[in-house]
């Protein structure tokens, strides 16, 4: 399970670490000291794997898209994370972390959410495990992702509106961290992406690595070669991307492409393309690239997709970018919308707007016919129907 | 040679340290507030460098920070304003803020600028002890700028001792498991304060987070060298302004 890890202080090269206020130090340190020991036990692995299979519905299919393959002149496969229970890859991590929280004797779970997928996945895991659950969500996101808010409530979670700053994912994360400061003893904070202080980026990556683990097995079966030529994934904080990349990082064959949210264009001032615009900085406890002003104030990002609307990026992706192990690109809101519609109508799969960013990048690539390309279809589009209705005038 | 901070702790008890956000309520208020706090008899001043995402702060300081940023406050401008600092006050002044803006300014440039304008110390809640020791300690010591650490009710004795060893000004005792400006029951904290007092740290302690009136001030002073007040002061100047009279009234109500 562990092929790609940070050093013991949580750094990937110069990125990562744990820049947390002293109030959070004991909690973060407890996790740092224990997460690997807990996750690597046979009991834990058995329970996690069983839940992945019987509750989440893994392995998710690897679907050969004849239509996309013909259109783009390559062998294109879709990793169907959208078919997971709750509709996205997020549940791989929440099930893993809630098992960790139980081992740490925590009684209560808090989490941030952007699109609401991580919130729903957390509320689901909490319902299953009988844990109290509080979800922090930006007021703007509550508005644009209403169905997910209702789902969380139905699952028994309390949804708290984050009204500070830009009222999106960044601010929901701030509020969740503040809530953790206020409740350090009985509460575990389930971060939804490979962001935050060490050990979160590594822990979340470990749980999401199941995606690339399965891709390997499935590709071997379908193509007799477990390593594809390309893996393409959307990149906000970076949890689905690291999951899809994880077991391919150290091979020289597979090109890893992460697609950021360009918003209305990288230079429009309304974007969430962190690698394109960010400078080194510290956000939510880790050193990474960050969209910020010259004076170090975090800039409020923009993306049509709430799940990519984040001004930072997981430190592991900052590292993969700087070491050229991955290529980070971006597509606009409009390009993502077009890709979402095309996949819906050609393959009968309505993708999440986040995942549509990965699909949209296909148009910018030139492949050789025999190239094997895996797109990580990280989530389904049900939650985005309001946006689709508005833009496609359905 | 003892520093301005060490010397004030030697000379005075029941120290009142007041925090305000630079650039709030108005951009150019910084030195005026310093002057009026000094005149009102506070013992130490903390000037907040506003940050867009202040993780350890409650709504009051969040809002003052947002407004200050909107007003145009930056670290660069703050240092410009502080050029006249030592013409108007002799009491210790520390800067408090978050790591990211300081990183963009440049860590070394920041510390030497602090020394140049007469800032005595810094409080950066998201600068962890190990990173301080590795990358900051030497430059802070060279420039004579003290780094001030926080401890909380969750901090282990071992951790508190390590922090005390790395400090040379005072230790900032966070009163409860909370962000700034919260009103958790203050009386429950006395056992915690006593336990800190019994550790007999080499540095004096100031208690902060949730101190807002005479009663909480006096209770905290029983167990430490004094207190830090932030949110309550920001609330006061938001309502009553930053005039000499207004600030005097605030200080008198805490410490008379």
- The residue of chain B nearest to residue A300, with distances taken between CA atoms, is B52
Asked whether residue B106 carries a pLDDT value surpassing 50, the answer given is yes
**pLDDT given at position A300:** 86
pLDDT digits (tens, 9 = 90+) for A32-63: 999 999 999 999 999 999 999 999 999 999 99
Q: Is A282 within 8 Å of B154 when comparing Cβ atoms? A: no
Q: Is A25 within 8 Å of B149 when comparing Cβ atoms? A: no
Of all residues in chain A, what percent carry a pLDDT higher than 90? 90
Report the distance separating Cα A376 and Cα A63, nearest Å: 11
**pLDDT given at position B78:** 98
- Please provide the CATH number assigned to the domain covering A12-51+90-204: 3.40.50.1100
Q: Is B59 within 8 Å of A27 when comparing Cβ atoms? A: no
DSSP designation for A379: B
Q: Dihedral (C-alpha) A377, A381, A382, A385: value to the nearest 10 degrees?
A: 180
**pLDDT given at position B183:** 66
Q: Which residue has the tokens 């800039």?
A: A299
Q: Calculate the average pLDDT of chain A.
A: 95
> Taking chain B, what is the end-to-end CA distance rounded to the nearest angstrom?
32
Q: Is A182 within 8 Å of B152 when comparing Cβ atoms? A: no
For chain A, the domains span 12-51+90-204, 57-88+209-392
Residues 20-39 of A with CB under 8 A from B: 20-23, 25-27
Q: Which residue has the tokens 């992945």?
A: A52
Asked whether residue B55 carries a pLDDT value surpassing 60, the answer given is yes
Give the catalytic positions of B in this structure: 46, 57
How far from chain centre, in Å, is Cα A117? 10
pLDDT digits (tens, 9 = 90+) for A289-315: 999 999 999 998 889 998 898 999 999
Hey, is the C-beta of B101 within 8 angstroms of any chain A C-beta? yes
Q: How confident is the model at residue B186 (pLDDT cuts 50, 70, 90)?
A: low
| Average pLDDT of the residues in A247-255 | 95
Asked whether residue B154 carries a pLDDT value surpassing 80, the answer given is yes
Q: Which architecture characterizes domain B3-254 according to CATH?
A: Alpha-Beta Barrel (3.20)
Give the ranges where chain B is alpha helix by DSSP (H): 4-11, 30-39, 59-71, 75-81, 85-88, 99-105, 107-117, 129-131, 137-143, 157-166, 190-198, 214-223, 231-240, 244-254
Hey, is the C-beta of A343 within 8 angstroms of any chain B C-beta? no
Report the distance separating Cα B82 and Cα A363, nearest Å: 54
Report the distance separating Cα B15 and Cα B35, nearest Å: 17
Give the catalytic positions of A in this structure: 90, 112, 378
Which residues in B lie closer than 8 A to residue A280 (C-beta atoms)?
Answer: 103
Q: Which of A19, A181, A284 sits opposite B179 (nearest CB)?
A: A181
> Within 13 Å, how many C-alpha atoms sit on residue A80's CB side?
19
**pLDDT given at position A1:** 43
**pLDDT given at position A146:** 86
How far from chain centre, in Å, is Cα B60? 15
- The residue of chain B nearest to residue A287, with distances taken between CA atoms, is B100
Distance in Å, alpha carbon of B90 to nearest chain A alpha carbon: 29
Q: In the β-sheet with A158-162, what is the strand arrangement from edge to edge?
A: A158-162, A132-138, A108-113, A187-189
Report the distance separating Cα A312 and Cα B57, nearest Å: 21
**pLDDT given at position A169:** 87
Hey, is the C-beta of B245 within 8 angstroms of any chain A C-beta? no
Asked whether residue B146 carries a pLDDT value surpassing 90, the answer given is yes
Q: Do domains A12-51+90-204 and A57-88+209-392 have the same CATH topology?
A: yes
pTM score, two decimals?
0.96
Which is nearest to B9 in space by CA: B220, B255, B204? Answer: B204
**pLDDT given at position A4:** 83
Hey, is the C-beta of A281 within 8 angstroms of any chain B C-beta? yes
pLDDT digits (tens, 9 = 90+) for A199-217: 999 999 999 999 999 999 9
Q: Is A170 within 8 Å of B53 when comparing Cβ atoms? A: yes
* Better-scored residue on pLDDT, A306 or B149: B149
Distance in Å, alpha carbon of B75 to nearest chain A alpha carbon: 7
Asked whether residue B48 carries a pLDDT value surpassing 90, the answer given is yes
Residues 193-232 of B with CB under 8 A from A: none
Hey, is the C-beta of A18 within 8 angstroms of any chain B C-beta? yes
DSSP designation for B242: S
| Average pLDDT of the residues in A361-390 | 96
DSSP secondary structure string for all residues of A176-218 = HHHHHHHSTTTEEE---SS-SSTTHHHHHHHHHTHHHHHHHHH
Q: Which of B52, B75, B102 sits opposite A165 (nearest CB)?
A: B52
Task: Supply A295's token pair.
Answer: 């004076």
pLDDT digits (tens, 9 = 90+) for B223-250: 999 999 999 999 999 999 999 999 999 9
Q: Which of B56, B125, B128 sits opposite A18 (nearest CB)?
A: B128
Report the distance separating Cα A19 and Cα A27, nearest Å: 13
Query: Domain A57-88+209-392 class?
Result: alpha beta
Asked if the ipTM is above 0.90, the reply is yes
B53, B99, B130, B167, best to mutate vs chain A, most A CBs in 10 Å? B53
Hey, is the C-beta of A176 within 8 angstroms of any chain B C-beta? no
Distance in Å, alpha carbon of A56 to nearest chain B alpha carbon: 34
How far from chain centre, in Å, is Cα B245? 23
Q: Which residue has the tokens 């006061």?
A: B236
Q: Is A294 within 8 Å of B151 when comparing Cβ atoms? A: no
Q: How confident is the model at residue B210 (pLDDT cuts 50, 70, 90)?
A: confident
Hey, is the C-beta of A65 within 8 angstroms of any chain B C-beta? no
**pLDDT given at position B126:** 96
Hey, is the C-beta of A9 within 8 angstroms of any chain B C-beta? yes
């Amino acid at each position: 399970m562990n092929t790609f890890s940070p050093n013991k202080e949580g750094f990937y090269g110069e990125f990562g670490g744990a820049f947390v206020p002293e109030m959070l130090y004991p909690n973060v340190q407890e996790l740092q000291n224990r997460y690997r020991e807990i996750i690597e036990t046979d009991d834990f692995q058995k329970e996690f794997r069983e839940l992945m299979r019987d509750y989440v519905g893994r392995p998710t299919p690897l679907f050969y898209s004849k239509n996309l393959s013909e259109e783009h002149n390559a062998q294109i496969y879709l990793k169907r994370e959208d078919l997971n229970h709750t509709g996205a890859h997020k549940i791989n991590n929440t099930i893993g972390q809630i098992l960790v929280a139980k081992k740490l004797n925590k009684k209560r779970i808090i989490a941030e959410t952007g699109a609401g997928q991580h919130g729903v996945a957390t509320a689901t895991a909490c319902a299953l495990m009988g844990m109290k659950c509080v979800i922090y969500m930006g007021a703007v996101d509550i508005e644009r992702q209403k169905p997910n808010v209702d789902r969380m409530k139905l699952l028994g979670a309390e949804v708290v509106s984050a009204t500070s700053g830009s009222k999106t994912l960044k601010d929901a994360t701030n509020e969740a961290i503040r809530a953790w400061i206020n409740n350090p003893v009985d509460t575990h904070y389930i971060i939804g992406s490979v962001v935050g202080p060490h050990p979160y980026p590594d822990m979340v990556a470990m749980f999401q690595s199941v995606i690339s683990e399965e891709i390997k097995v499935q590709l071997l079966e379908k193509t007799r070669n477990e390593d594809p030529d390309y893996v393409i994934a959307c990149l906000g904080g970076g949890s689905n991307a690291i999951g899809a990349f994880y077991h391919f990082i150290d091979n020289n064959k597979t090109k890893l492409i992460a697609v950021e949210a360009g918003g209305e264009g990288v230079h429009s001032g309304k974007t969430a393309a962190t690698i394109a615009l960010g400078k080194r900085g510290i956000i939510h406890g880790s050193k990474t690239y960050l969209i910020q002003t010259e004076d170090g104030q975090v800039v409020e990002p923009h993306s049509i997709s709430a799940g990519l609307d984040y001004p930072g990026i997981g430190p592991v992706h900052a590292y993969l970018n700087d070491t050229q192990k991955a290529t980070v690109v971006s597509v606009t809101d409009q390009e993502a919308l077009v890709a979402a519609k095309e996949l819906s109508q050609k393959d009968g799969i309505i993708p999440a707007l986040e995942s549509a960013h990965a699909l949209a990048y296909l148009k910018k690539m030139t492949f050789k016919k025999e190239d094997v390309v895996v797109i990580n279809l990280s989530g389904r589009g049900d939650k985005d129907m309001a946006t689709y209705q508005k833009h496609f005038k359905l | 040679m003892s520093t301005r901070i060490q010397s004030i702790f030697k000379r005075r008890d029941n120290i009142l340290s007041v925090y305000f956000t630079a650039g709030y309520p108005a951009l150019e208020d910084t030195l005026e507030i310093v002057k009026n706090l000094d005149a009102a008899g506070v013992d130490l001043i903390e000037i907040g460098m506003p940050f867009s995402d202040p993780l350890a702060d409650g709504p009051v300081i969040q809002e003052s920070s947002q407004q200050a940023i909107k007003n145009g406050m930056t670290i660069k401008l703050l240092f410009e304003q502080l050029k006249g600092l030592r013409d108007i006050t002799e009491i210790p002044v520390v800067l408090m803020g978050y790591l990211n803006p300081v990183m963009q300014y440049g860590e070394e440039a920041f510390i030497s600028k602090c020394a140049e304008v007469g800032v005595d110390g810094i409080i950066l809640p998201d600068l962890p002890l190990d990173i301080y020791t590795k990358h900051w300690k030497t430059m802070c010591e060279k420039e004579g700028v003290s780094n001030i650490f926080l401890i909380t009710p969750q901090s282990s004795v071992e951790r508190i001792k390590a922090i005390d060893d790395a400090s040379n000004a005072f230790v900032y005792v966070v009163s409860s498991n909370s962000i700034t400006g919260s009103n958790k029951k203050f009386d429950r904290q006395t056992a915690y304060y006593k336990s800190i007092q019994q550790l007999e740290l080499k540095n004096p302690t100031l208690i902060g987070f949730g101190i807002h009136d005479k009663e909480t001030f006096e209770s905290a002073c029983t167990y430490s060298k004094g207190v830090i007040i932030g949110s309550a002061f920001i609330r006061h100047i938001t309502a009553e302004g930053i005039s000499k009279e207004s600030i005097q009234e605030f200080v008198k109500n805490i410490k008379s």
